[in-house]
Amino acid sequence: MSEPDVTSMIRVDQAGEFGATRIYAGQIAVLGTRSDAARPIARMAAQEERHRQVFDRIVAERGVRPTLLAPLWDKAGFLLGAATALISPEAAMACTAAIETEIDRHYAEQLEQLGTSDPELSATIAEFQAEEIEHRATAIAEGAERAPGYPILSAAIRLGCRAAIGLSKRI
């Protein structure tokens, strides 16, 4: 088994957590802070902000170059969040469920690649993966599967998420 590309892992994880904060910012901008959907979104957004801060610290400590696509993820994340919230609160939750499905898979792959080579990074990823799984469960409980066109919406968001992961690893 080849040595894991830890630099690429850290770069993509920081980009993903940044993108998540922007998605939730877009959703909150549309839904406001007083709707029923806003409460779980605000809680998940706070966790994503903490994840981003941790990866920002790791990037700085380990001298990892952040993705050059951050300006794109800033705008694209906010627009995705706002667009799904404009469709419905359930569509906003469908967005979360789709993304967290991919992030769970992504983090599981990273943990497998890391093995025992980087216990500190592995512990961080495992902790955040557990919270992402909780976010997916929250989104499903909040009606994600009742979103208009859920199967198509979910598939499109998951595809976009996989593309963003692939691009952020390299660029």
pLDDT score, position 1 = 47
DSSP characters for 92-124? HHHHHHHHHHHHHHHHHHHHHHHTTS-HHHHHH
**Residues 120-158 pLDDT 10s:** 999 999 999 999 999 999 999 999 999 999 999 999 999
Percent of all residues in the chain with a pLDDT value above 90, rounded to a whole number: 72
The region, left, alpha or beta by phi > 0 then psi within -120 to 50, assigned to residue 66 is beta
- pLDDT, mean of residues 88-117: 92
pLDDT score, position 127 = 94
**Which of helix, strand or coil describes residue 13?**
helix
Percent of all residues in the chain with a pLDDT value above 70, rounded to a whole number: 98
Q: pTM for this structure?
A: 0.89
Beta carbons within 8 Å of 131's beta carbon, 6+ residues apart: 47, 51
Beta carbons within 8 Å of 134's beta carbon, 6+ residues apart: none
Read off the tokens for 150.
């859920």
Query: With bands split at pLDDT 50, 70 and 90, how would you rate the model's confidence at 28?
Result: very high
pLDDT score, position 2 = 57
Q: CA-to-CA distance for 71 and 76, rounded, in angstroms? A: 9
- pLDDT, mean of residues 30-59: 89
Judge whether 136 and 96 are in contact, CB under 8 Å.
yes
**Residues 57-100 pLDDT 10s:** 999 999 999 988 899 899 999 999 999 999 999 999 999 999 99
Residue with tokens 């007083």: 34
The pLDDT mean for the chain works out to 91
